[in-house]
Structure 1
Amino acid sequence: MLVVVLPGNVDDPATPSGGNVYDRQVSAGLAAAGWPVHEIAVPGGWPRPDEAARAALGDTLAGLPDATVVLIDGLVACGVPEVLAAHTDRLRLAVLVHLPLADETGLAPADAAALNAAERAVLTDAAAVIATSDSTARQLTRRHGLASDRVRVAVPGVAPAPLTAGDPPGGRLLCVASVTPRKGHDVLVDALAGVADLSWTCVCVGALDATAHVAHVRSRIARHGLADRVRLVGPRAGDALGDAYAGADLLVLPSHAETYGMVVTEALARGVPVLASRVGGVPQALGLADDGTVPGMLVPPGDPSVIGAALRNWLGDADRRTRLRAAAAQRRSTLPSWADTTAVVSAVLVELHRRQEGRTDGDD
């Protein structure tokens, strides 16, 4: 039996996230590959849950037989080392890290330090660690003193999608990200104000649960007089999200931190170029075309003037748009699939299963 422990909101359409999509795709892929998957979704305010959620997770792990292979989302695992400590010796725990906990934007220094220490304790004791980008793997090994061969990388896959027919002027901008401080919508709005003399619209698709920050972003939109050009439309999934990509000329992702940036590959799968912050695994997700052309633009995070300049270059240069669209279309054929992702995760779990069998044989 393989137990997959997921956040309780993994299937909540009101709170979509790249991590939840990844977890769902990998769990389904493992089951399709023949693993006897038993999913357990644990409600709680992870990574800092209340006592009831901690106790529920502890009870869940305590109920598993010795030597069970467990794939657990790092959002659940990495903030509660005291809960996992009782089970790291008897279970085979593989921790899947999407975003290092201390990298969440807006944390107080003391909170970031506490989360970092908790994460270190969990990952040091885990049987295996899986990261979702090369940059995250390097960060985890450096930050927590882990041996590099203990951290495997399973980059997110992407589903094939039809090629999008871009509008020649290129003015249909799309941002797909939850409206939270880490995603930088306020920076984007300030950048858009700097190119208000040009023709464009911007649709922002993503959860609006961080009400204080959403209000902050809306106030910036109003202050710059952009209410008729910048729309926060809330979360989209399935065909509705596909329609948003199909109606876009350029994906804009102004994040302060990203482990990979799954929306980057989702856009590229449709031939939509990308303007994104050069953070985390985003350059890896963006990739290079065979001729060395980058299918998008990378800029430093947090600087509206730099983002604005990149937007002005995109909107004002038809040849540039043509080149970037061609590079994005070429990148489609090199994007990893979810089967590729699942194969890497499966290999890690097979190794843990073999360790389990070896220990059982030895005990017999």
Structure 2
Amino acid sequence: MDPTRLTFALPGDITTLTGGYVYDRRLVEGLRAQGRQVDVLSLSDAFPTPDADQMAQAMDRLESLPPDRPVIIDGLAFGAMQPDRVARLRAPILAMIHHPLAQESALPDDLARHLWRTERANLAHARHVVVPSPHTRAMLVERYDVPAHRISIARPGTDRPADPPRRKPCDPPLILSVGILHPRKGHDVLIDALARIAEQEWQAVIVGNPWDADHVAALTARIRDAGLGDRIRLAGRAPAEELAQLYRQASVFALATRYEGYGIVFDEALLHGLPIVSTRAGAVPDTVPRDAGILVPPDDAPAFARALSGLLGDPQDLRARSDAAARAGASLPGWDATAAVVGDLLDAMG
């Protein structure tokens, strides 16, 4: 097997602006920087719920890959593939599991059970598995029966600016949330929490690609019904410079997520020295330092409101957590470290 020539297979467009796709794109760039030839294979963006034709086309393309070159398959597709056909793939498989598919929010019970079965079966056919966090590794061992020695953690990297970000906090304080407009991200909980502290001075911006029009409409209606239309802005997808400016202007980063396999946006907040309010969900406790953030139970708007209110009302605590966030951000690894982990695995597979 030649570990210097490989395929990276994933659903849809690798330039999509969500954490998982950012991870995949930066990993491909890092592996290429090591001198490896990496061909990107774009499968149907209908995964993890493709129709029969989309599934067949994806499996046909994977089955045509040569047996002497490894293939990295993103878990958004890998976990949903037909196990009998995964078993027939000739190329050695390195599975990239950002978070197990069955853990996604708002899934019908029958679909969640189906995805658990297929992902569990498919993981047995992977030569090795890469995950972004200790939490995801533990879940695959405990719930998916993957031997611990076949799982490696490749923590997401960060893009460290040449100069430390210069904070210019807004007045009133800006509460920034970044995450795809999807039920799993808990933006509805954040809106409900903000409604509970409407008497305090603040403004809020929620940045994220729309998941679907109905969910965006529901969030918009929630903001309107709470009487917060002039204080909360759904910004949708923000260009990089606009997002960087929002990070510089913010006083608090808030994400009421229901589950995270890692959460790259938390590292971005730390890089900008932002104290974090989030939840004790998935890998968040492993990602957010205790002295830099306040974590509450998922789906608990009153607790989330108390955490936000406490930070906004206590300048000393806000400053201390901001300083702690900046210290943590300064120690975060770059994307070259992520690629180094995967590169070593590829060489070992060879």
Alignment correspondent of 2:69: 68
Shift of 1:177: 0.7
Q: Which amino acid aligns with 2:276?
A: V
Shift of 1:62: 2.2
Structure 2 residue matching 1:125: 3-state secondary structure = coil
Alignment correspondent of 2:14: 10
Alignment correspondent of 1:291: none
Shift of 1:244: 2.0
Alignment correspondent of 2:108: 108
Q: Which amino acid aligns with 2:108?
A: A
Residue 151 of structure 2 corresponds to residue 154 of structure 1: no
Structure 1 residue matching 2:295: 3-state secondary structure = strand
Alignment correspondent of 1:83: 85
CA contact (8 A) 1:202 1:229 kept: yes
Alignment of 1:213-224 (within 5 A): 213-224=215-226
Shift of 1:136: 0.5
Q: Distance in 1 between matches of 2:189 and 2:130?
A: 31
Shift of 1:166: 4.9
Shift of 1:297: 1.2
Structure 2 residue matching 1:44: 3-state secondary structure = coil
Structure 2 residue matching 1:202: 3-state secondary structure = strand
Alignment of 1:115-134 (within 5 A): 115-134=115-134
Alignment correspondent of 1:320: 317
**Greater shift in the superposed pair: 52-61 or 218-227:** 52-61
Moved over 6 A (4+): none
Alignment of 1:144-293 (within 5 A): 144-161=144-161, 162-167=164-169, 171-287=173-289
Shift of 1:170: 7.2
Alignment of 1:4-43 (within 5 A): 4-12=8-16, 16-43=17-44
Structure 1 residue matching 2:47: 3-state secondary structure = coil
Unaligned 5+ segments in structure 1 are 289-293, 354-364
Which string of whole-angstrom CA distances, capped at 9 and with x for unpartnered residues, describes residues 269-290 of structure 1? 11112111111111222236xx
Q: Distance in 2 between matches of 1:141 and 1:164?
A: 42
CA contact (8 A) 2:260 2:282 kept: yes
Residue 98 of structure 2 corresponds to residue 98 of structure 1: yes
Query: Could you tell me the percent identity over the aligned residues?
Result: 36
Structure 2 residue matching 1:249: 3-state secondary structure = strand
Q: Which amino acid aligns with 1:68?
A: R
Shift of 1:169: 6.5
Structure 2 residue matching 1:301: 3-state secondary structure = coil
Shift of 1:61: 1.6
CA contact (8 A) 1:169 1:318 kept: no
Q: Which amino acid aligns with 2:149?
A: D
Alignment of 1:342-357 (within 5 A): 342-353=339-350
**Greater shift in the superposed pair: 215-224 or 199-208:** 215-224
Q: Distance in 2 between matches of 1:208 and 1:86?
A: 36
CA contact (8 A) 1:105 1:256 kept: yes
Unaligned 5+ segments in structure 2 are none
Q: Distance in 1 between matches of 2:226 and 2:59?
A: 50
Alignment correspondent of 1:362: none
Shift of 1:335: 0.8
Alignment correspondent of 2:57: 56
Structure 1 residue matching 2:281: 3-state secondary structure = coil
Shift of 1:149: 1.0
Which string of whole-angstrom CA distances, capped at 9 and with x for unpartnered residues, describes residues 267-322 of structure 1? 1111112111111111222236xxxxx21111111101000000110110011011
Structure 2 residue matching 1:309: 3-state secondary structure = helix
Shift of 1:56: 2.0
Q: TM-score, normalised by structure 1?
A: 0.91
Shift of 1:211: 1.7
Q: Distance in 2 between matches of 1:254 and 1:204?
A: 11
Structure 1 residue matching 2:273: 3-state secondary structure = coil
Alignment correspondent of 1:301: 298
- 1:154/1:300 Cα in 2 relative to 1: closer, same or farther (>3 Å)? same
Q: Distance in 1 between matches of 2:43 and 2:12?
A: 4
Which string of whole-angstrom CA distances, capped at 9 and with x for unpartnered residues, describes residues 307-350 of structure 1? 00001101100110110111011112211211111111111111
Q: Which amino acid aligns with 1:4?
A: F
Q: Distance in 1 between matches of 2:172 and 2:280?
A: 22
Structure 1 residue matching 2:45: 3-state secondary structure = coil
Structure 2 residue matching 1:67: 3-state secondary structure = coil
Shift of 1:168: 8.1
Residue 142 of structure 2 corresponds to residue 138 of structure 1: no
Q: CA RMSD in A?
A: 1.5
- 1:177/1:160 Cα in 2 relative to 1: closer, same or farther (>3 Å)? same
Which string of whole-angstrom CA distances, capped at 9 and with x for unpartnered residues, describes residues 200-229 of structure 1? 000000012322222221111111100000
CA contact (8 A) 1:44 1:50 kept: no
